[in-house]
């Protein structure tokens, strides 16, 4: 017994010595003011060179990313690497762009066994793990966490969240209250061992003590670690012509990083389904989308939820579209809580909703040397593979546009196709050469958590008069995103858009210049319907469904629905 105790004491002593050595090393491993300045100038230089929306942010938001004197002074005054990391994140977040982020090279995450979102303007718990279901209840309002008022926490977290839509920015901040990825939130590693959670339940305020769970390795200072390289999670896109492969990375329209909002990017929607809903696809995680049918006043309404725009089995979608065409009177399509994905899938899915074709959005490319090389490689591959003459001619025209843009100061191409060689998109055909797209009324659900390619999809259907858009203004992330290493000393990375998505018509929205952009402006619904106000974890979403069914009824009956948020085409 004595020997075992002595061994345990010795091991504890060794662990303490190792910990002290680590802390001592960390204290002396902080970046110098000069190193911080060098890294910050590289971060700003990356945005000056590649960021598509520098001019737009200055015009629309009054944010000049190229004026960095004050930022450099603040960087040199930071007292720790972690404080410097937070400053870099704040610099990128000021651009209010759901595509852009400053990312630390760490997989560390801390979390509590419940989730929070903003319902009726308040931070309300809407996800609860079974481990604390006897303490925390859905519908509890979170008052404070670890001794800090929730409003104070939300304001601090919003400083490093770059979403262009204030509602989504607030909701993402709420998700970070109990789910803290250090890649985006530098302070995440500083949570205590035990959280002090204060909630309001009716007239009572209750206090609970719950352990903070942790995983991964925290990034406390800029030591000698490898430069992070973030890979696209969309994989190789099935169906993309071989000559467009060099430009595939320029077709990724996705949020900068995962958002920990309930049902974000999941097959199953956040709302409760009607009692008579009959599921078709979505019961298996391997299913590409969620679909089914429910009744409404003697009519059959289809539901198609597209959880993201990553690789999708279009053959399955074709079968479902044929079923909906033959067996429904209207179709409810849901792209809420959708992080985006491939710009090509936007057009390919939209093809299933027309039999006459449509004009798609364009993409104006911020041309750097690697982008110019991608255009050249596409042209060379088309020539080698014997592509049709009209395809070669169009790729030559696009390459010439990219060359001219590269020679110009911060040059952009004219709006080019977001995928392929034409903005005029033909309907999809069956084997006999006949179009088979869905022809009946379509209601498209959107919200502030609809990002990037989900927004392109909404804009495309709206611009072509193919759907009634219902919900809330989308996130306002309107460009294709790429990731780049940044900082010789920090060894971090940054994501930013290098293209500007351009609609087919100008939109006038209060608070912004008249524009064809989606960036910041988002896509405005034709009918405003706020799920986060009409629903609540404690009382359900009956009011939401009541309002939504009214819109479906009016759409089926052909009642004109005006654009209720004032977004008027010019």
Residue 547: CATH number of its domain? 3.90.226.10
111 strand-pairing partners: 179, 213
User: Do both 292 and 200 map to the same domain?
Assistant: no
User: Do both 256 and 211 map to the same domain?
Assistant: no
- Determine, yes or no, domain membership for 66: no
- Determine, yes or no, domain membership for 371: no
User: Do both 449 and 319 map to the same domain?
Assistant: yes
- Determine, yes or no, domain membership for 256: yes
Reported as a pLDDT band with limits 50, 70 and 90, residue 431 is confident
Rounded CA separation 448/366 (Å): 26
pLDDT 10s digits, 544-554: 999 999 999 99
457: closest CA among 331, 351, 321, 564? 351
Rounded CA separation 476/208 (Å): 38
Q: What six digits make up the tokens of 546?
A: 């009541």
Reported as a pLDDT band with limits 50, 70 and 90, residue 29 is low
- Where is 241: in which H helix or E strand? none
User: Do both 352 and 255 map to the same domain?
Assistant: yes
| Beta carbons within 8 Å of 300's beta carbon, 6+ residues apart | 293, 294, 327, 328, 329
Tell the burial category of 531 from Cβ atoms under 10 Å away from its Cβ (0-12, 13-18, 19+).
buried
Cβ contact 219:105 at 8 Å? yes
- Coil, strand or helix: which one is 120? coil
Q: Looking up tokens 């909002």, which residue turns up?
A: 261
Which pLDDT does position 31 carry in this prediction? Answer: 83
| Beta carbons within 8 Å of 319's beta carbon, 6+ residues apart | none
- Determine, yes or no, domain membership for 365: no
Does the pLDDT value for residue 22 go beyond 80?
no
Rounded CA separation 54/304 (Å): 37
Which pLDDT does position 34 carry in this prediction? Answer: 81
Cβ contact 449:336 at 8 Å? yes
User: Do both 462 and 324 map to the same domain?
Assistant: yes
- Determine, yes or no, domain membership for 77: no
pLDDT 10s digits, 482-535: 889 998 888 899 999 999 999 999 999 999 999 999 999 999 999 999 999 999
Which pLDDT does position 23 carry in this prediction? Answer: 41
Q: What six digits make up the tokens of 470?
A: 């219902």
| Beta carbons within 8 Å of 27's beta carbon, 6+ residues apart | none
142: closest CA among 187, 209, 201, 193? 201
Which pLDDT does position 364 carry in this prediction? Answer: 96
Q: Which of 41-45, 276-280, 343-347, 428-432 has the lowest mean pLDDT?
A: 428-432
Rounded CA separation 118/166 (Å): 12
pLDDT 10s digits, 60-98: 999 999 999 999 999 989 989 999 999 999 999 999 999
Tell the burial category of 19 from Cβ atoms under 10 Å away from its Cβ (0-12, 13-18, 19+).
exposed
Cβ contact 126:143 at 8 Å? no
pLDDT 10s digits, 219-266: 988 753 332 333 333 445 677 888 898 888 889 888 876 778 999 999
Sign of CA dihedral 315, 317, 321, 322: positive
Does the pLDDT value for residue 348 go beyond 50?
yes
Does the pLDDT value for residue 102 go beyond 60?
yes
Mean pLDDT (whole number) for 371-392: 93
Q: What six digits make up the tokens of 407?
A: 């020679």
pLDDT 10s digits, 272-303: 999 999 999 998 888 889 999 999 999 999 99
- Where is 91: in which H helix or E strand? helix 81-93
Cβ contact 450:337 at 8 Å? yes
- Coil, strand or helix: which one is 2? helix
**pTM (two decimals):** 0.80
User: Do both 330 and 473 map to the same domain?
Assistant: yes
- Coil, strand or helix: which one is 110? strand
Which pLDDT does position 32 carry in this prediction? Answer: 82
- Determine, yes or no, domain membership for 341: yes
Does the pLDDT value for residue 27 go beyond 70?
no
Which 8-state DSSP code applies to residue 258? -
Which 8-state DSSP code applies to residue 80? S
Does the pLDDT value for residue 570 go beyond 50?
no
Which pLDDT does position 239 carry in this prediction? Answer: 77
- Give 22 or 182, the one with higher predicted confidence: 182
Counting the structural domains of the chain, the total is 2
Which 8-state DSSP code applies to residue 315? H
Output the average pLDDT for the chain.
Answer: 88
Q: Looking up tokens 């849901």, which residue turns up?
A: 334
Within a 13 Å sphere around the CA of 294, how many CA atoms are in the beta-carbon half? 14
User: Do both 449 and 314 map to the same domain?
Assistant: yes
Does the pLDDT value for residue 24 go beyond 90?
no
Sign of CA dihedral 157, 161, 167, 171: negative
Does the pLDDT value for residue 328 go beyond 50?
yes
Q: Looking up tokens 């992080």, which residue turns up?
A: 339
Does the pLDDT value for residue 461 go beyond 90?
yes
Which 8-state DSSP code applies to residue 262? T
User: Do both 344 and 262 map to the same domain?
Assistant: yes
Domain hosting 210: range is: 110-215
User: Do both 435 and 542 map to the same domain?
Assistant: yes
SS (H, E, C) 424-450: EECCCECCCCCECCCCCCEEEEECCCE
Mean pLDDT (whole number) for 347-376: 94
User: Do both 115 and 160 map to the same domain?
Assistant: yes
User: Do both 204 and 302 map to the same domain?
Assistant: no
SS (H, E, C) 331-358: EEEECCCECEEEHHHHHHHHHHHCCCCE
Q: Name the region of 62 (left: φ>0; alpha: ψ -120 to 50; beta: rest).
A: left
Percentage of the chain beyond pLDDT 90 is: 76
- Determine, yes or no, domain membership for 23: no
- Where is 195: in which H helix or E strand? strand 194-201
Cβ contact 128:286 at 8 Å? no
- Determine, yes or no, domain membership for 143: yes
Q: What six digits make up the tokens of 219?
A: 């990034």
Mean pLDDT (whole number) for 122-150: 97
User: Do both 123 and 190 map to the same domain?
Assistant: yes
At 204, which CATH number? 2.30.42.10
């Amino acid at each position: 017994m004595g020997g075992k105790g002595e061994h345990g004491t010795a091991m504890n002593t060794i662990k303490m010595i190792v910990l002290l050595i680590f802390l001592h090393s960390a204290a002396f491993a902080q970046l110098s003011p000069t190193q911080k300045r060098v890294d910050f100038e590289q971060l700003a230089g990356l945005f000056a060179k590649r960021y598509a929306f520098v001019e737009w942010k200055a015009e629309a938001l009054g944010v000049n990313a190229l004026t960095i004197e004050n930022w450099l002074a603040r960087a040199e005054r930071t007292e720790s690497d972690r404080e410097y990391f937070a400053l870099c994140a704040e610099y990128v977040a000021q651009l209010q762009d759901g595509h852009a982020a400053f990312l630390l090279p760490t997989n560390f995450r801390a979390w509590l066994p419940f989730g929070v979102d903003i319902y009726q303007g308040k931070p309300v718990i809407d996800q609860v793990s079974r481990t604390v279901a006897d303490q925390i209840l859905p519908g509890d309002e979170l008052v404070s966490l670890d001794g800090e008022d929730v409003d104070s926490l939300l304001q601090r977290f919003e400083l490093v969240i770059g979403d262009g839509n204030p509602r989504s920015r607030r909701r993402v901040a709420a998700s970070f209250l109990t789910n803290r990825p250090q890649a985006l939130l530098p302070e995440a590693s500083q949570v205590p061992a035990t959280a002090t959670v204060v909630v309001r339940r009716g007239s009572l305020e209750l206090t609970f003590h719950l352990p903070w769970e942790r995983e991964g390795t925290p990034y406390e200072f800029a030591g000698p670690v490898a430069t992070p390289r973030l890979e696209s999670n969309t994989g190789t896109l099935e169906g993309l012509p071989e000559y467009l492969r060099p430009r595939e990375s320029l077709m990724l329209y996705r949020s900068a990083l995962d958002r920990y909002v309930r049902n974000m990017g999941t097959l199953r929607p956040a709302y409760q389904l009607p009692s008579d809903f009959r599921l078709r696809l979505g019961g298996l995680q391997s299913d590409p989308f969620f679909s089914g049918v429910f009744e409404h006043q003697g009519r059959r309404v289809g539901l198609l939820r597209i959880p993201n725009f990553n690789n999708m089995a279009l053959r399955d979608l074709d079968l479902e579209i044929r079923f909906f065409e033959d067996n429904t009177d209207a179709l409810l399509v849901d792209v809420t809580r959708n992080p985006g994905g491939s710009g090509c899938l936007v057009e390919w899915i939209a093809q299933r909703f027309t039999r006459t074709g449509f004009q798609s959005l364009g993409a104006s490319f911020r041309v750097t040397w690697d982008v110019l090389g991608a255009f050249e490689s596409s042209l060379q591959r088309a020539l080698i593979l014997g592509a049709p003459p009209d395809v070669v001619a169009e790729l030559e025209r696009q390459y010439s546009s990219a060359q001219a843009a590269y020679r110009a100061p911060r040059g952009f191409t004219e709006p080019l196709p977001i995928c392929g060689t034409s903005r005029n998109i033909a309907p999809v055909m069956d084997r006999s050469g006949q179009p088979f797209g869905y022809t009946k009324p379509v209601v498209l659900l959107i919200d502030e958590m609809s990002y990037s390619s989900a927004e392109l999809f909404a804009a495309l259907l709206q611009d072509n008069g193919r759907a009634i858009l219902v919900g809330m203004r989308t996130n306002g992330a309107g460009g294709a995103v790429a990731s780049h290493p940044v900082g010789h000393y920090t060894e971090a990375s940054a994501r930013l858009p290098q293209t500007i998505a351009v609609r087919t018509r100008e939109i006038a929205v209060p608070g912004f210049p008249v524009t064809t952009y989606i960036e910041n402006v988002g896509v405005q619904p034709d009918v405003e319907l706020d799920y986060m106000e009409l629903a609540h974890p404690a009382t359900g979403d009956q009011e939401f469904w009541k309002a939504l069914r009214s819109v479906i009824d009016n759409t089926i009956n052909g009642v004109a629905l005006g654009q209720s948020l004032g977004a008027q085409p010019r």
